[in-house]
Structure 1
Amino acid sequence: MSPRDLLLALVVILAWGVNFVVIKVGLHGVPPMLLGALRFSLAACPAIFFVKRPNVPLRWLLAYGLTISLGQFAFLFYAMYVGMPAGLASLVLQAQAFFTLIFAAMFLHERIRAANLAGLVIAACGLALIGMQGGHAMTFAGFMFTLAAAAMWALGNVVTKRMGRVDLVSLVVWASLIPPLPFFALSLIFEGPAKIEASLRSIPVLSIFAIAYLAFVATLVGYSLWGKLLARYPASQVAPFSLLVPIIGLASAALMLGEALTPMQIAGAALVMAGLAVNVFGGWLVQRYQADIR
C-alpha cells in the first residue's frame, strides 16, 4: 500500500473511531431516533443527485437500508442513550465480525474455519467479561442493545455478500434514503411530537455539528475513501485496518469524555481485540505455518 493510501486508511479509521464520541455528544441535545432521522436525511440529500443509483435490485437495497442503516443505528443510538459508553460501544460493536460468520454460515452456507471459531470463542469470553460489568459506568441494557446493533450490521454484511460486487459509495448513499421515514416514525412513537419539537427548536450547536459529522464525515467521506481502498487493494489487505477503530474509539472517549474502564472491562477489551486479530490473521498464519513445514 502506498504512503498516500496508507494515510487515507488512517483518516478513515480516525473518522470512524471518533464517530462514537460524536454520537454521544449529539445525543446530549437530540433524542436517538430523531438523531438517526436527521443523520440519514442529510447523508441522502443532496448526495443522491450526484451519485448514480447502485445496480442492484430494489429488494436488496431495501434489505441493506433496513439492516445496516436503520437497524444498526437505531439500536446503537438507543444503546448509547441508555448508558453505553462511547469507547465500549466502539469495541462491542465489532462483535459484528462474529455475527457475520454465523449468519453467513446459516444463510449462505459458508464454512467457519478453525481460526474463525477460535477467534469467536476468545472474543465471546471478552464480551462476557464486559457484560458482567453492567452497572460499572455501563448499563446492561446499553450493552445488549449494542450487541443487537452488531447483529443488524452483520445481517447487512450478509445482504452485501448476496448482492455481489457493488459500488460501496453508491450503495451507502442510496440506502440512506430508506431510514429517515422509519426513524421519524419511531421518534413520533417513542419520543413524541412535543420532544421532537422542543429538540428542533433548541438544538445545541454541538448537536448540529454531530449530525453534520455523522452524515458527511463518518458516512460519505468515510465510505468513499474506504471504497477507493477496496477497489485498489485486496480486501484482506484493507480489512485489518478496521481493528484500529475500537482502539481509536476507546482512546478518544477517554481523552474527550473522560471515560475510564474497570480492570475487568480492560481484560474483556483485550480478549475481544485478541479474538478479532485471530479471526483476521489466524487463517493466514496457519497457511504460512503449513507452507514452512512442507
Structure 2
Amino acid sequence: MNRRDTLLAVLVASLWGFNFVVIDWGMGSVPPLLFAAIRFTVVAVPACFFVRRPPVPFRTVATVGAFMSLGQFGLLYLSMHLGMPPGLAALVLCVAAGLSWGIGNVVSRASRAPGGLALTVWSATIVPVPLLALSLLVDGPAAVGHGLTHLGWDGAASTVYTAGLCSLVGYAIFNRLLSKYPSGNVVPWVLLAPVVAMAASWALLGEVPGTAEIAGAILLVIGVLIAQRPARSPRVAALDPQIAPSRTLKGVPARP
C-alpha cells in the first residue's frame, strides 16, 4: 500500500481499538443487543436515502451485513455485557465475533464494490430489525422499553462515536481499501486495534494488562510488521548468491 493508504489503515485500527472502551462506557443499563441495534439504526438511517446502493447483488450486501455487522457486533456487545473487559475483548475479539467478521471481510473483498461508504451504509440496513427482535426475545419487552427511555447522554455519545466514526468512517475506509488491495495487505493492520484498546483501557479504565496480554500485544505488533514486509521477487531470490550460491548471473560465478 502507498503511504496515504497505510496511514488510513492505521487510523481505522485506532478508531476501532478505542471503540471497545467507548462501547463499555456507553452501554450502561441498555441491553447489549438493543444497544447494537440503535448503533446500526443510526448508521443506516437516513444515510441510505442519500447514498446510492452499491452495484452488487443485494444478497452480497445482505451477507456482508449479516457477518461483518450483525454477527460480529451482536456477539461482541453481548460478551462485553456479560463481563469481558474491553481490552481483553479486543485481544480475542470474542472468537465467534472475530470469525463472523472474517467471513464478512472475505465477502466484501470478493464483491469488489467500488468505494466503501455505500457498502457500509446498505449492509447496515439489515442489522437493526434482527438485533431488536433478538433483544425482545432474550431481554424481554420491559427491558427493551427501559433501555430506550434510559439511554442517557453517555449512551448517546457512545452511539455517535460507534456509528459515525467507527462504522461510517472506519468501515467506509476499510471496505475501500479491501476493494483496492489484496486482503493480506489490509487486514493485518486491524491487529493494531487490540493494542490501542488495551492501552486505552489501561489509561482510562484502570484495566492493567497482565503479562500474557502484554505478550499478546507485542506479538500482534510483530505480526503486523512481518505481514507488511515486501514480498521477495522469485527472480531476485533465485539470483541472490546467499540463497542460491550455485547460480550464475550473466555467466559470472556467484561469490561465496
| TM-score scaled by length of structure 2 | 0.81
Q: Residues 41, 176 of structure 1: CA spacing in aligned structure 2 closer, same or farther, 3 A cutoff? A: same
Q: Tell me the distance in 2 between the aligned counterparts of 1:275 and 1:4.
A: 21
Structure 2 residue 107 is the aligned partner of structure 1 residue 167:
no
Instruction: State the match for 2:166 in structure 1.
Output: 218
Distance of aligned partners of 1:224 and 1:58 in 2 relative to their CA distance in 1, 3 Å threshold: closer
Q: How does 1:60-209 map to 2 (within 5 A)?
A: 60-93=60-93, 146-209=94-157
Query: In structure 2, what residue type is equivalent to 1:221?
Result: V
1:40 counterpart SS class: helix
1:250 aligns with 2:201: no
Give the gaps of 5 or more residues in structure 1: 94-145
More helix by share: 1
Could you tell me which of 224, 237, 246 is aligned with 1:290?
Answer: 237
CA contact (8 A) 1:39 1:211 kept: yes
Q: TM-score by structure 1 length? A: 0.72
Aligned twin of 1:44: 44
Deviations 1:8-52 (A, max 9, x none): 444333211111111111222321100111000000011112211
Q: Distance in 2 between matches of 1:80 and 1:89?
A: 7
| Deviation of the 1:268 alpha carbon | 3.8
CA distance in 1, matches of 2:66, 2:163: 17
The one-letter code matched in structure 2 to 1:248 is V
1:147 CA drift (Å) = 0.4
Offset of residue 218 of structure 1: 0.5
Moved more, 8-17 or 44-53: 8-17
User: Matched residue pairs, number?
Assistant: 241
Take 1:288 and 1:247, find their aligned partners in 2: how far apart are those partners? 37
> CA–CA distance in 1 between the matches of 2:106 and 2:178?
18
239 and 66 in structure 1: CA distance in 2 versus 1, 3 angstrom threshold: closer
Deviates more, 1:266-275 or 1:52-61: 266-275
- Cα separation, 2, equivalents of 1:147 and 1:153: 10
Q: Structure 2 stretches of 5 or more lacking a match? A: 245-256
Contact 2:113/2:179, CA 8 A, preserved across alignment: no
Contact 2:185 2:228 survives alignment (8 Å): no
Aligned-residue Cα RMSD (Å) equals: 2.9
Which protein has greater RCO, CA pairs closer than 8 Å, 6+ apart? 1
Q: Percent identity?
A: 41
Give the Cα separation in 1 of the matches to 2:117 and 2:15: 16
Q: Which moved more, 1:38-47 or 1:267-276?
A: 267-276
Task: Please name the residue that 1:138 is paired with.
Answer: none
Could you say what secondary structure the match of 2:231 adopts?
helix
Which range is displaced more, 228-237 or 78-87?
228-237
